[in-house]
Amino acid sequence: MSDNDQDNRKLPVILIVGGGLGGLMLAGILERMGVPYQVFERATKIKPLGSVMALGPNILPAFEQLGILEGLKKISNVSPSLEFYDKDLKKLGSVLMKGQKELTGYDNVLFARPKLQELLLKQLPPEKVLLGKRVLRIVEKDDQVVIHCADNTVYEGDILIGADGAHSSIRQCIYKEMDEMGILPKSDLKDFTIGFTIMVGVATPSDSNKFPQLQSQFSYLTSVIGGNRKFWNVCNVPGGQLCWFLAHQYKSAAESKNQQFRNSEWGPEANEAMISEFRNLPCPYGGIMGELFDDTPKDLISKVFVEEKMFETWFHGRTVLIGDGATNAMQDAVVLANCLYDLEDVTAKSIKAAFQDYYDQRYPRAKAMLEHSSMISTAMGGQHWWERILRHIILNYIPDWIQQRSLAKTFEYRPQVAFLPLVENRGTGPVLPQMPSKRYMAEQARRDAAV
């Protein structure tokens, strides 16, 4: 934290469990804040897993504040449109990103997810990220939170942040304790809703001449609605790579539940079974999908459920959770860091107040984002009859002015880092107001007075 010589408050020691995008984004902000922290990642090495990702005005102002927007642009292409085809590669329509730069001040950029993880890691001192740290249990004692890892190491801090995804071990620990105390909402014990199984990877084609799209300065996310509850997409990204994505939609809650039960059976054989299903299907960039699979390292192919659930409980004691996903998790990180910046001290009372402020700011936004994301994913990839009708309407009958209004509404929420100078709105669309923190304003006044 800045101006420490004029600020006698005790700096909180923060433990972050999870080295995904949300955890690394939060660590990067804490690094700028000057707060002691440590990241604990259960994997023994950071694997570059994932496929294509898109980021836009909802989070890019924070990237600009942190000085990493230019780095993101170097690994990204602008996305002018999203293209949709049927199983015979007959075009169904497009969603144009027309006018977004003028409206918001930012382009929508596409890139390979592993590249963003690398970019965020580069902002941190290597010794601040510990690998092979699987947390088994957490304990609060003597105004500290303590984590016990599987390798028999123990770490203490003032605040613990669970950034370890949908199946968070930290969430499981605090939910177990709260359930035993009789204070956990029953809704938080219910299963996830599962709509799709997806498999993703990033291919580096051995013959780049087969794919002229690799030479383009733009990225085209091209999706195929293949019938039989399958869909897949391909997207060119910088570095001569093609990101691919396979998805299988479940037709009923019973089928979804069965697949959830079989999750523990997943391994190389299960991956090969799904790859075989899609191998001979047409690639929208040319050839068949199998050619991309063969150009993807097998250990960098990942398969997951698309699971949906809005948890009611986000914190307990000195432990707080940030969400899953990309933009959502990074927005959580920004807002939580803002609340921690304004901590008056490291007492349980102050920490609880900061956590409650974070929850109050983020819960309505995260819920709305989940509902919007669910609607978009089912409308653009779903294959139930009503989803096909909705997709046809969206791709063919929605006027540009309605699309522009929808974009403006989607991008008006842009949380920024409160203790850094705010980025002004450079677009014509509205932005929800955000004031710097009171502490930041007081520190700025002291600096101005010293000059």
pLDDT in tens, 111-158: 999 999 999 999 999 999 999 999 999 999 989 999 999 999 999 999
| Amino acid code (one letter) for 60 | L
Contact (Cβ atoms closer than 8 angstroms) between residue 236 and residue 77 = yes
Sorted by sequence, the CB contacts under 8 Å of residue 146 that are 6+ apart come out as 138, 139, 140, 154, 155, 156
Strand partners, 230: 227, 248
**Higher-scoring residue by pLDDT: 49, 360:** 360
Confidence of residue 63 (pLDDT cuts 50, 70, 90): very high
The pLDDT-based confidence of 194 (bands split at 50, 70, 90) is: low
Would you tell me how many other CB atoms lie within 10 Å of the CB of residue 182?
6
Confidence (pLDDT) at 258? 58
Average pLDDT value for residue range 386-391:
78
pLDDT band at residue 8 using 50, 70 and 90 as cut-offs? low
Instruction: Find out whether 281 and 270 touch, Cβ atoms under 8 Å.
Output: no
The Cβ of residue 174 has, within 10 Å, a number of other Cβ atoms equal to 24
Q: What number of other Cβ atoms are within 10 A of residue 113's Cβ?
A: 19
Note whether 34 and 362 are within 8 A (CB): no
Q: Where are the domains of the chain?
A: 4-48+115-189+311-450
Q: How many CA atoms lie within 13 A of 446 on its CB side?
A: 12
What pLDDT is recorded for position 252? Answer: 56
Euclidean distance between CA atoms 322 and 346, whole angstroms: 20
pLDDT at 264 over 60: no
Fold entry, domain 4-48+115-189+311-450: FAD/NAD(P)-binding domain (3.50.50)
DSSP state of 420: S
Q: How far is CA 164 from CA 42, 160, 255, 379, in A?
A: 9, 12, 27, 29
Cβ atoms of 124 and 28 within 8 Å: the answer is yes
pLDDT over threshold 70, residue 392: yes
Residues shown for the chain: 451
How much is the average pLDDT of 411-435? 93
Comparing 1 with 438, the larger pLDDT belongs to: 438
Q: Decide: 388 and 229 in contact? Cβ < 8 Å.
A: no
Q: What is the pLDDT of residue 269?
A: 58
Do 351 and 159 meet the contact criterion of CB atoms below 8 Å apart? Answer: yes
- Mean pLDDT in residue range 351-367: 95
Rounded to two decimals, the pTM is 0.90
Q: Which of 117, 139, 154 is nearest to 43 (CA)?
A: 117
Terminal alpha carbon distance of the chain: 20
252: Cβ–Cβ under 8 A, 6 or more apart, which residues? none
Cα angle 320, 55, 84 (rounded to 5 degrees) comes to: 125
DSSP 8-state symbol, 424? P
User: d(Cα 409, Cα 205) in Å, to the nearest integer?
Assistant: 39
Tell me the C-alpha distance between 362 and 331, whole Å.
Answer: 8
